[in-house]
Amino acid sequence: MQLEIQPRKILKIICTDSAGLLAKLTNIFYNHQLNIVNNREFVDHTTSLFFMRTELEGVCDNQIFLKDLDTILPKGSQRELHFLKRYKIVILVSQESHCLGDLLIQSTYGELDVDIAAVIGSHEKLRNLAESFDIPFVFLSPKGCTRLDQDNNIASSIDVYQPDYIVLAKYMRILTPEFVYRYPNKIINIHHSCLPAFIGARPYHQAYERGVKMIGATAHYVNHKLDAGPIIMQDMMHIDHSYVVADMIRAGRDIEKNVLSRALHLVLTQRVFIHGNRTILL
């Protein structure tokens, strides 16, 4: 007899912490014949908020399951039910290839469970790279356009593909608030320093002038403030006085592509909770 494949689902909860809450939740899982495959939780004692990510296995009526959860969750709680799947992204680029190339390789060879629907570029330089992986490349020149017109053109192209997320893989243009508001918590950027240090342009030149002893990268959600969205992932490496700007850029590119792919993996596996301008990773 062939066993039925049980679909995996991810339950994410943010609510006020209270005694016995976990017991009530697990009782509902049991009543719906759901098996807990993995569970992680965190209590922020400064706000008394409870965060939980639970991976569940089993077949149930999802709407009834969520309604039953609502009967025991405190008022104002947030709960989301996601399903493990291969998500779709659109990548925005300018002229630097390292982050795009890494994502193309990881997607193609199964190291990152994501489909790249299209690459949109403000320059033509990376067309051959994208098309060598059979990914459509859309060139949208910013010349002769206002920032708002350019972003509207980009949004029109993005919406053709209906992606789950938009990834800025070294897209070196500032997005308008109108564009950002259109895709809340759906835009992920890689920034070439450990924010909040060295925001904006030429961060390695800024770092060199300051004589820093470490360089890093930050993957974050994009909001209406420049390089100020919730941080998903950061990493760094130590350097010394012998590093010139070119050395720092070369080393920084390796950190950037690694941080971006790790952050994207966290987002795609529903491990990121956004709370205000912070993230909790479970």
- Whether 53 is in a domain gets the answer yes
**Other C-beta atoms lying within 10 Å of the C-beta of residue 179:** 21
Task: Tell me the C-alpha distance between 234 and 242, whole Å.
Answer: 24
CATH of residue 253: 3.40.50.170
According to the model, what pLDDT value does residue 196 have?
Answer: 60
Range of the domain at 64: 8-83
Among the candidates 54, 83, 112, a domain finishes at 83
Same domain flag for 152 and 98: yes
- Whether 32 is in a domain gets the answer yes
Among the candidates 55, 83, 111, a domain finishes at 83
Same domain flag for 127 and 159: yes
Same domain flag for 122 and 34: no
According to the model, what pLDDT value does residue 1 have?
Answer: 41
Task: Tell me the C-alpha distance between 157 and 167, whole Å.
Answer: 14
Same domain flag for 59 and 92: no
Same domain flag for 151 and 132: yes
According to the model, what pLDDT value does residue 111 have?
Answer: 94
Same domain flag for 93 and 168: yes
Same domain flag for 55 and 96: no
CATH of residue 17: 3.30.70.260
Same domain flag for 114 and 165: yes
- Choosing from 17, 134, 227, 247, which is the catalytic residue? 227
- Whether 1 is in a domain gets the answer no
Same domain flag for 236 and 262: yes
Same domain flag for 43 and 124: no
- Whether 3 is in a domain gets the answer no
Is 254 one of the annotated active-site residues of the chain?
no
According to the model, what pLDDT value does residue 34 have?
Answer: 96
Among the candidates 83, 113, 136, a domain finishes at 83
The structural domain count of the chain equals 3
Mind listing the pLDDT tens digit for each residue in 36-85? 999 999 999 999 999 999 999 999 999 999 999 999 999 999 999 999 88
According to the model, what pLDDT value does residue 205 have?
Answer: 74
- Whether 2 is in a domain gets the answer no
According to the model, what pLDDT value does residue 40 have?
Answer: 98
According to the model, what pLDDT value does residue 200 have?
Answer: 63
Q: Which parts of the chain sit beneath pLDDT 70?
A: 1-7, 194-201
According to the model, what pLDDT value does residue 165 have?
Answer: 98
Same domain flag for 22 and 44: yes
- Whether 209 is in a domain gets the answer yes
Same domain flag for 195 and 281: yes
